[in-house]
Amino acid sequence: MYKKTVYLNNFESYVFDSIKWIWPLYICFIFYGSLLPFEYQYISFHNAIESFFHIPYLHLNMYSREDWVANGILYLPLGYLGCLVLTSRFFFIFRLFAVSCICISIAVIIEFLQLYFPNRTVSLNDLLAEVIGGFAGIFIFLLFGKILKSLFQKLLQDRDRAFHSLLIFYMIAYFFYCFFPFDFVLSIEELGRKLQNISFNQLLFSSSRSGLGNLFKIVAEVITILPIGIAMVVFGLRRFKTRSIIVIGLTVGSVIEFSQIFIVSGITQIFSIILKATGISLGYIFTARAYNVGFDWDAIVRVLKSKHIFVILWALYILALIFINWVGRGDFKIPSDFLNMIGALSFLPFYYHYKMAESQALFLVAAYFLVYLPSGILVATKVLIKEKYIDNQHLLFIFGVGLLLSAGFEFGKLFLEKNRPDLTNLIIGSLSAYTGAMMVMWIKFLFSNMKFDSK
């Protein structure tokens, strides 16, 4: 019987075939996020048209600018992906015109539809931000489209330069996250207000999390900046001494943290400078030693093929998930009115993110994505060692593992006093596990000389 298989040699074509679906899916996501929480209220079409032609222009203060900028950033991928998807199908000028019209049309349609959902704010500010965001995506495509496409092709085709491309993409994403949502202060007066709100305790270390939550934040901050130290070695900067690397790490950390002073929603923390310097230094030192000593893939494969290694790894991983999801979130308690508590929950994906600030929502999505990424990596590695390939059934199984794993931990939150389950984390967990499997496929593709069947 024929079985469609995603062989590792076809990994590049598999990824490129998937890209064409990203744009329409992203359009659906924009509509979904813009109309959430879907509290519909009827108004006549005539009144809606009348209201739409009289939507106000709001005068935003420095603290409301975050939402405005984030709204524009939401539309940036719309313009970029549109140009990318239509790149080989239409003439250049027609492609730009078509994507521009689509961006404007979607912005207008969404603002009009929001009139039927009173919890959403309809304003010329939002319409302007959305159009600017879409055009900015087109502008980025015109300026950097060929460069980014070349890096992406190297990521999938060039085994010698693929890791370089991955590090470049990661650093772009990391610095984007550091300065998101880009609500910069625009005057000396605004800067003065921002400085007045900075306390000494906040400058040292500020967190509302529990002790374990703070530990997770510290570890995450060190790990997420590790690739910058790795990139320094990979890009040929290998002659620095340990003291020089620490100084470079402190410099990079200081630039990032003190730049937060000029971002209205940014938080500057001296302790984060130390953590960033630690991450860069560790990434540089271990990668430099790996370059000098060499990387023994056969030794790694032998360890992975040992009898109980995956049992140990899964036990440690589940223990980490328990600490992240449950520990420090209140005492376990069986609710007296279980059905009413279930009824009070919202099962709309991203409903609780809608109630947060954009930067906080982005952090939460990224955090849960990283938390469930190892599940896909572990399962895919085990499948690759045992079967020598990964097919569509394996990918579907890994997707299910992420779904069930996240569902189990979200269900456990029902019995925690200070927590609540969120259906969004099931979506994030399943997609994260799937991404982990794709990462394993990419690593196998990249290091095609790596023998998983060697004794």
365-401 burial, b at 16+ Cβ within 10 Å, e below that, comes to beebbebbbbbbbbbbbbbbeeeeebeeebbebbbeb
> How does pLDDT run across 46-103, given as a tens digit for each residue?
999 999 999 998 888 888 888 888 889 999 999 999 988 876 555 778 888 899 999 9
Q: Is 36 helix (H, G, I), strand (E, B) or coil?
A: coil
Mean pLDDT of 419-429: 90
Does the pLDDT of residue 9 top 50, yes or no? Answer: no
Q: Cα separation of 354 and 29, whole Å?
A: 13
Q: Cα separation of 81 and 134, whole Å?
A: 10
CA distances 60 to 56, 57, 64, 289, Å, are 12, 9, 6, 52
Q: Cα separation of 149 and 9, whole Å?
A: 20
pLDDT value, residue 452? 40
pLDDT value, residue 356? 81
User: With the C-alpha atoms ordered 135, 141, 142, 144, is the resulting torsion angle positive or negative?
Assistant: positive
Cβ atoms 220, 277 nearer than 8 A:
no
pLDDT value, residue 174? 93
> How does pLDDT run across 288-310, given as a tens digit for each residue?
888 777 666 667 777 777 778 88
This prediction has a pTM of 0.81
Long-range residue pairs from 244-248, CB within 8 A, at least 24 positions apart, any chain: 245/280, 245/281, 245/284, 245/285, 246/277, 246/281, 248/280
> How does pLDDT run across 246-297, given as a tens digit for each residue?
999 999 999 999 999 999 888 888 889 999 999 999 999 988 888 777 666 6
Does the pLDDT of residue 449 top 50, yes or no? Answer: no
CA distances 196 to 189, 191, 202, 207, 264, Å, are 11, 9, 12, 19, 12
pLDDT value, residue 112? 94
> How does pLDDT run across 194-208, given as a tens digit for each residue?
888 776 556 665 555
In the chain, the amino acid numbered 75 is Y
For 140, list phi and psi in degrees, rounded to 5.
-65, -40
Cβ atoms 123, 57 nearer than 8 A:
yes
* Nearest in space to 140 (alpha carbons), one of 149, 153, 127: 149
Cβ atoms 46, 128 nearer than 8 A:
no
168-188 burial, b at 16+ Cβ within 10 Å, e below that, comes to bebeeeeeeebebbbbbbeee
* Nearest in space to 226 (alpha carbons), one of 286, 301, 158: 286
CA distances 360 to 60, 201, 331, Å, are 20, 20, 25
Mean pLDDT of 319-326: 87
Mean pLDDT of the chain: 84
Burial class (CB in 10 A: 0-12, 13-18, 19+), 303: exposed
Count of other CB atoms within 10 angstroms of residue 449: 6
